[in-house]
Amino acid sequence: MEDHEIIDLYWDRDETAIVRTSKKYGSYCHTISYNILNNNEDAEECVNDTWMGAWKSMPPQRPNNLATYLGKITRNLSLNRLKQHMTEKRGGFQTDLALYELEDCIPSSTTVEQIVEGNVLVSSLNRFLYSQPEQKRNIFIRRYWYLYSIRDIAVAYQMSESKIASMLFRMRSELKAHLEKEGISL
């Protein structure tokens, strides 16, 4: 079933929309959630919550890209669940490691001014990513959006872990220079 047909089912308030969504995007959303939570049960709950989130938000939302829309819901739910599970001593979660690696490149969004400038940052980040070769861009996105481990990325691209780590390090340095060139303070 095509995405626009699934979206129409949501708009018609037809409950088969959830079944169709689960069948088409269940594995995709589970992968996103599991990469963040490292727990199948929590990932399954987040995926189920994703279907509920989609049901509640369509209408009025009519996403242009259903996969991205569902991925974003899943990612946000999973990050929220991770925050709930965190204790004072933070463990070896890929989320912490990946976000820590980006810390020097991406400014903190703690001030009102930085929040307002968020769209500028997103546009700049997109320009940077689309200036990269497709493979490098996809590796960067796997690491920092989908939160794959360096080991999993290395296996997927049949490269060594050190090569992936070096590539990501160089890309973070390039990103930092790109943001500074565009006047985004770090």
Domains annotated for the chain, with CATH where assigned, are 3-85 (1.10.1740.10), 94-181 (1.10.10)
Mean pLDDT of the chain: 85
End-to-end CA distance of the chain: 44
Over the stretch 69-82, which tens digit does the pLDDT of each residue have? 999 999 999 988 88
Least confident span in 65-69, 74-78, 181-185: 181-185
pLDDT above 50 for 89: no
Task: Write the single-letter amino acid at 180.
Answer: E
pLDDT at res. 120 = 76
Q: What is the 3-state secondary structure (H, E, C) of 92-161?
A: CCHHHHHHHHHCCCCCCCCCHHHHHCHHHHHHHHHHHHHCCCHHHHHHHHHHHCCCCCHHHHHHHHCCCH
Least confident span in 43-52, 91-100, 139-148: 91-100
Residues contacting 42, CB < 8 A, separation 6+: 33, 78, 81, 85
| pLDDT greater at residue 107 or residue 144 | 144
| pLDDT greater at residue 28 or residue 115 | 28
Q: What percent of the chain has pLDDT over 70?
A: 81
The pLDDT of 8-27, averaged and rounded, is 95
Could you tell me the pTM of the whole model? Answer: 0.66
